[in-house]
Amino acid sequence: MALLDGKVVIVTGAGRGIGREEALLLAKQGAKVVVNDLGGHFDGTGQSRSPAEDVIKDIRGFGGEAVANFESVTDFKSAKRIVECALDNFGKLNIVVNNAGILRDRMIFNMSEEDFDAVVNVHLKGTFNMARHASAYWREQHKNGNMLNGRLINTSSDSGLLGNAGQGNYGTAKAAVAAFAIIIDREMARYGCTANAIAPVARTRLTIEATPQTAATMPAVKQGEFDRFSPAHVAPLVAWLGSDDAKDVHGEVFRVGMGRVWLMRGWHSAAQVAAAPGTFWEPAALGARVKEELAKGVTKKETMAEILTAGR
């Protein structure tokens, strides 16, 4: 008996990179998979059916069940059709992996409105679109006594969790995608669902072609060498989070890659100062207290470069 026997899953952006590995492993673990991919360039332009079709061939090649879908997650009605694709072909939906992504890196002073909108539309609006239609379906089914154990897995990034210069559009959307998982989990837990987020680290075209500065930290492996940056390191966590065994994991964010999984912790109060009861702060006096009592509690911030060299 495999971990995901009988489950139906949608993986968006499953034609390449991390999504492809997720679709393959989920299928190997017994799930029936909707392989969604628009098939465009890393900047979101263009489209092609071949990435999703190739993954379908691979899954069918090892006896798995999968169907391709070529719609964009950015369109609300298209996202509904992606959900319907699962229902029409496999009769139900248990797991949604929001993975589709593009990049258009620019410093804030050079970023066009279009570069901002295009990136936010795929990552944040696309995640909303898929979550919205899947959640309505899971709630309706729950009301009818059909327990589907819905699982939503959003794809965030260190770019948003730690902050990375040159990615104001992408990082902002990715931080929101993590927050979105926490919020959706609070709304959907009562219907037997969980929502969590992952922040992957892997060598894909987004880290090689689209961000050459990262490419240098993820050198290609020589033949026979173990590939610590393979996107296949991300999929096992996603497969487990999608399973019934992960029912108690709610609203968490995990960094995953290189054979490691980190539990991430976000905003939380670390220290406080309070005005004397019944008084307002005098700004300079407040500043002195902030410097003395709060800024001292600020710990050194993790950087993305440190993560990539972990364990070397």
Ligand X SMILES: NC(=O)c1ccc[n+]([C@@H]2O[C@H](COP(=O)([O-])OP(=O)(O)OC[C@H]3O[C@@H](n4cnc5c(N)ncnc54)[C@H](O)[C@@H]3O)[C@@H](O)[C@H]2O)c1
For ligand X, give the closer residue by CB, 148 or 253.
Answer: 253
Residue 178, judged by CB atoms within 10 A of its CB (0-12, 13-18, 19+), counts as buried
Q: How far is CA 270 from CA 9, 141, 252, 291, 294, in A?
A: 39, 41, 19, 14, 8
Least distance to ligand X from the beta carbon of 161, Å?
A: 10
Give catalytic status of residue 230 as yes or no. no
Least distance to ligand X from the beta carbon of 86, Å?
A: 15
For ligand X, give the closer residue by CB, 38 or 68.
Answer: 38
160 binding ligand X? (CB under 6 A): no
Least distance to ligand X from the beta carbon of 224, Å?
A: 23
- Between CA 9 and CA 27 the distance in angstroms is 9
Least distance to ligand X from the beta carbon of 253, Å?
A: 12
18 binding ligand X? (CB under 6 A): yes
19 binding ligand X? (CB under 6 A): yes
127 binding ligand X? (CB under 6 A): no
Q: Which of 29, 135, 157, 169 binds ligand X (CB under 6 A)?
A: 157
42 binding ligand X? (CB under 6 A): yes
User: Which DSSP string corresponds to 47-94?
Assistant: --SHHHHHHHHHHHHTT--EEEE---TTSHHHHHHHHHHHHHHHS---
Applying CB under 6 A, which part among 3-11, 188-196, 197-205, 300-308 lies near ligand X? 197-205
Give catalytic status of residue 191 as yes or no. no
Could you tell me how far CA 140 lies from the centroid of its own chain? Answer: 25
211 binding ligand X? (CB under 6 A): no
Give catalytic status of residue 157 as yes or no. yes
Q: What tokens appear for 178 in the block?
A: 């993590």
For ligand X, give the closer residue by CB, 149 or 204.
Answer: 204
Contact 104, 72 (CB under 8 A): no
Q: What is the DSSP letter of 250?
A: -
* Residues that are catalytic: 157, 170, 174
